[in-house]
Amino acid sequence: MSPPDMDAISHIKAPNKGKRFMTLTELTDEYAKTIREINEKHDSLGIDMLPTRWRSITLVRGDYLD
């Protein structure tokens, strides 16, 4: 599994891929909208699963398993 931050970042960046923003306000508004939509859909499972992932890593003493 990829780290939770990679899950979140890809979900946030994907809807705005290729868009060009003329102002910082426009960019901020679009990304705020994207983040709100992700939160409403409960699409941030990587963040929710973080405690479980860290526990798994701790149990194997930091060794990643396939």
What is the tally of structural domains in the chain?
A: 1
Say if 66 falls within a structural domain. no
- Statement: residue 6 has pLDDT above 80: no
Q: What confidence score (pLDDT) does residue 1 get?
A: 44
Q: What confidence score (pLDDT) does residue 12 get?
A: 81
Encode burial over 25-37: b for 16+ CB neighbours within 10 A, e otherwise.
Answer: eeeeeeeeebeee
Q: What confidence score (pLDDT) does residue 11 get?
A: 77
- Domain ranges, residue 43: 4-13+26-59
Say if 31 falls within a structural domain. yes
Say if 45 falls within a structural domain. yes
DSSP string, 22-61: SSHHHHHHHHHHHHHHHHHHT--HHHHTHHHHHHHHHHTT
* 54 token code pair: 């860290």
Verdict on whether the full-model pTM lies above 0.75: no
pLDDT digit string, tens, across residues 7-64: 677 778 888 889 998 988 898 899 888 888 887 776 666 666 666 766 777 777 666 5
Quick check: helix, strand or coil at residue 13?
Answer: helix
